[in-house]
Structure 1
Amino acid sequence: MDRIETLAAGAGGVVVVALLVALLAPGALSGPPSERNPGHVDIADATIQPQAVGGQTVGLQVNTTLRHRGNPTQNVSLRLRAIDAQSGLLETSQTVAVGELTDEREQTVPATLTVERAGGYRIETVVYQDGRRVDTGRQRVDGLQALVPTYARTPIQFVEESTLPPLGVSVREATDARTTLDITALLTNRGSAQPDDVQVSVIVRQADSNLVADRAAADVGTIDPGQTAETSMAVSVPSEYNYYVDGVLKKDGVIVDTVRTAVNLDPSERIAVNETRQDVSLEVSDFERERRATDAGDGEAAGSTDDGAPGFGVPVAVLALVSGGLLVRRRIS
């Protein structure tokens, strides 16, 4: 009986010591030191900016700002995806190796996604650490067709004032068979310099048949920044018909702007140009994080304490208590 009592007392002593250590030195019952655990990485912000704008595609530079806290974190990477906003199909993706993050600071990681210059896309950004997803966010960009290709950029444009038509038409000479029209294009320089090799042309189409009746072109002279100037041309068309006049502005042979007006030479019928226009502009939404609840921790391992000291853990004390009880029961039996 003395032996059983001794074993029971020993088991109880182990439990008491473990509980005392847990109360007086909680770090002794914790997991491995926190210095071995990677720090915390998440997305602080992200911006999207168009870069190389071509005729068919546009490069979107995505600048992702990563925020790091705690111990050094290795093997950090980003995966970016551009998903078509209408079809939901993946347009393109890119993976960027960030490497190791140290110190408590923010770091901006640039990446470029090349997409078609039309419609809109959902840009998704995922942060990985050692292949494990730790944070996710997304933005949306719309109206990419409003971006002007680099080769087509010029400050010279047709005027857009409601009281000043971009194309003015007057009759210079008229006979029963033909009518000569003077067409004046009103152009303005919205930039800070005078571009070279700019040309304006007009195409006159018969309203009913859409056949080209005549056309003319002229080089655009010097237009100082912020100023408006006129460029005149003459065309000859059959009388007694109505016409649409299309104005085309070109730079280095590339169409950069167009307008349309109507000319009524048929006294029995009149036509008008449909002036309904839908303005499209580039829009970028705010960045939205979609971090998962399982990634909400700061990179600390389960079972570690705040101070991160090494130890055995509370489960060891419970195991000792159960083992001691079973041993005493066995001895008594």
Structure 2
Amino acid sequence: MTRFLPDKFILSLLATVALASFLPATGEMAVIVGWASNIAIGLLFFLHGARLSREAVIGGLRQPKLHGAVLASTFLLFPMLGFGLQAAFPHLLAPQLWTGVLFVCTLSSTVQSSIAFTSIARGNVPAAVCAATASNLLGILITPLLVGLLLHKSGSAGGLDSALNIVVQLLLPFVAGQLLRSWIGGWAARHNKILGLVDRGSILLAVYSAFGAAVVEGIWHLFPLPQLGELVLVNAILLGLVLAITTFGSRLLGFARADEIVVVFCGSKKSLAAGIPMATVLFGASTVGVVLLPIMIFHQMQLMVCAVLARRYAAARSAITNAVPVAAE
């Protein structure tokens, strides 16, 4: 049953949301927390740049068909499905929550969980590393463009200011980390656990800042419990559709089983670690807390579902392997 429980980071996020709900930063303290959040986000992407090897970046160019399928699922299939669900059921969710759902659809894939689940399922791990890496790198540029395209009419985001904020707060720190990797890459690798705490701390600070502002605006009075249940349903439908399409689509494209696993797990994930900093840059303080609700729910949902799916892939692979000697006899 432990695989169905929230992981420690999700529990930390929930605790941060609770803290922001009861003790939100206001006045001058809100300004200070906002600046601290921006600095922490810049540090987060700087450390990502410092730890990511150039070999992994270049590796994304290999197996173009496989990586193309993952990127198409991440940046084409997801937005199409999200936009289609909104068009089919426009009144199921409040407009702010639909904005959050569409934002989920624009995000890049995860790195750690995509690779971990691919490994558990006995898939092509090197290809998963390259696919997840390429998705995250491209997401820095593609996500703001998709947000502007999908949400431009509602005025939620987009424009030159958003692009400039992405470059200054996310892309430049990442590039700086890459440029300094020769000097600090070894140190970052040796202190990976400590830097992981810095990563999580940066995200938690951003969540506290965003939800604190949303609480001041009355977020918990805007959405009753049934509305949150409907949000869970929309996320479940979205995840189920993507998993089904990536599974059967990869088979139609003739991928080997190991590569199918990469498409399924890398193509169905959405990164909470990238989503929270992106949201704080792209959306206003009064709306960012609401926008973050769908990605927090989707993130936990994808972990639970993919944990079960990865074990089924592994069990099927073991059954085939064990059956081969018997068939030969």
TM-score between the two structures when normalised by the length of structure 1 = 0.21
Larger Rg: 1
TM-score between the two structures when normalised by the length of structure 2 = 0.21
Higher normalized contact order (CA 8 Å, seq sep 6+, divided by chain length): 2
Would you tell me which structure has more helix in proportion to its own residues?
A: 2
Would you tell me which structure has more strand in proportion to its own residues?
A: 1
